Amino acid sequence: MTRLIAFGEALVDMLSSRLGTSSAQETFTPYAGGAPANVAVACARLGVPSLFVGMLGRDRFGDFILDELSAHGVDVSHVARTSEAKTALAFVSRDTSGERRFDFYRPPSADLLYRPEHLPEGLFDARSILHLCSNTLTEEAITATTFAVADRAAAAGALVSVDANLRPNLWPEHRVDAARVTALLDRAQLIKLAKEELELLRGDTSEEAYLQARLAAGAALIVITDGGEPVTAVTAHARVKVAPPKVRVVDTTAAGDAFIGGLLARLVDARLSRSTLADWTTDEARMRESLEFATRCGAFTVTRPGSYAALPKREDLASLLA
């Protein structure tokens, strides 16, 4: 069976108890998080064999994340540990609609110290899906590692999935290197972008020209999310829009990760691979059904606080109609 391999950062989200400008006493509750780790958990909770690859500090927060990943069914046998840096933290505040602001304690952090030599030989094959995001592009050394991981997966025939997941305040001077992120997108067959991320990355290039360039570089499916608005799927053949279910939003943390995790789970259900994804996208009805499933995953997640525990199992989705 196809397995999901997520590479990148795992961190602890310290979620504030305060909403908006409330004057109530503020406390912070730790939740295991990090975009690639969230996707690994999302897939595991949906019954997909799931593995996380990255580095954690030898500290209490690293232990916490490792325990949480394992508890949700993620294979952590290839997680590296280091005493050279601590596990990353993100303090998360929310407005009254559940939208978040992140204050990251990174760098330095353990996840940035992962190197190609830490990656096990033979990890990838043609039945693997590798999932990455841009948060491992913020420094030169971890960028080189990220590209090496993606290239090694591609050489083994694995399908590569990339979620831009831009967090400008992780980048030096809060300036995202759009060319660097685009270079990672161009290693992927499946791309996920939020609408505002597409605007930032395309710069002066038109939206259509930017998307067509990614398809020409090898993407078979580009998915553009827009909060609670319809999701747009772009392929070489068509554009498909799918409206997500309407729900009461509590916390938008991991919503995008739940969405892409749900879509990846449907690709696994269909036994898709790097060589067959493009043909699959020609069946619009089949693709629409998978996108609807993914939107239900995202919608379910925003009704609960935190990351891992907020991600749905398949039985949680029955009552949510797209």
By the 8 A CB rule, do 310 and 33 touch? no
Whole-angstrom Cα distance, residue 164 to residue 44? Answer: 21
Whole-angstrom Cα distance, residue 202 to residue 189? Answer: 18
**Has residue 96 been placed in a domain?**
yes
What's the domain range around 158?
3-20+27-313
Looking at residue 151, which CATH number applies to its domain? 3.40.1190.20
Backbone φ and ψ for 35, nearest 5 degrees, come out as -55, -50
**Has residue 187 been placed in a domain?**
yes
18's tokens: 């305060």
| pLDDT tens track for 87-140 | 999 998 878 776 777 889 999 999 999 999 999 999 999 999 999 999 999 999
Whole-angstrom Cα distance, residue 76 to residue 67? Answer: 9
Please say if the pLDDT value at position 268 is more than 70. Answer: yes
**Has residue 230 been placed in a domain?**
yes
Total number of domains in the chain: 1
**Has residue 275 been placed in a domain?**
yes
25's tokens: 């006493």
- pLDDT, average across residues 300-314: 92
Whole-angstrom Cα distance, residue 174 to residue 168? Answer: 5
Whole-angstrom Cα distance, residue 78 to residue 65? Answer: 14
Q: How far is CA 231 from the centre of its chain?
A: 16
Whole-angstrom Cα distance, residue 54 to residue 44? Answer: 17
- What burial letters (b/e) apply to 261-273, b meaning 16+ CB within 10 Å? bbbbbbbbebebb
Which residues are registered as beta bridge partners of 102? Answer: 92
Please say if the pLDDT value at position 263 is more than 60. Answer: yes
Task: Please work out, in degrees rounded to the nearest 5, the angle formed at the alpha carbon of residue 233 by the alpha carbons of 181 and 250.
Answer: 80
Q: How many CB atoms lie within 10 A of CB 217?
A: 14
Low-confidence winner among 68-72, 179-183, 223-227, 306-310 (lowest mean pLDDT)? 306-310
By the 8 A CB rule, do 256 and 194 touch? yes
- pLDDT, average across residues 249-257: 91
Whole-angstrom Cα distance, residue 8 to residue 27? Answer: 28
**Has residue 250 been placed in a domain?**
yes
In a 13 Å sphere around the CA of 242, the CA atoms on its Cβ side amount to: 27
**Has residue 296 been placed in a domain?**
yes
Percent of the chain with pLDDT over 70: 98
Please say if the pLDDT value at position 322 is more than 50. Answer: no
For residue 242, the 8-state DSSP code is E
| pLDDT tens track for 195-218 | 999 999 999 999 999 999 999 999
Please say if the pLDDT value at position 253 is more than 90. Answer: no
Question: For residue 279, with 0-12 CB atoms within 10 Å meaning exposed, 13-18 middle and 19 or more buried, which class applies?
Answer: exposed
**Has residue 221 been placed in a domain?**
yes
For residue 189, the 8-state DSSP code is S
Predicted TM-score (pTM) of the model is: 0.95
**Has residue 140 been placed in a domain?**
yes
Which residues are registered as beta bridge partners of 241? Answer: 232
pLDDT at 94: 79
By the 8 A CB rule, do 188 and 163 touch? no
**What's the distance, Cα to Cα, between the start and end of the chain in Å?**
28
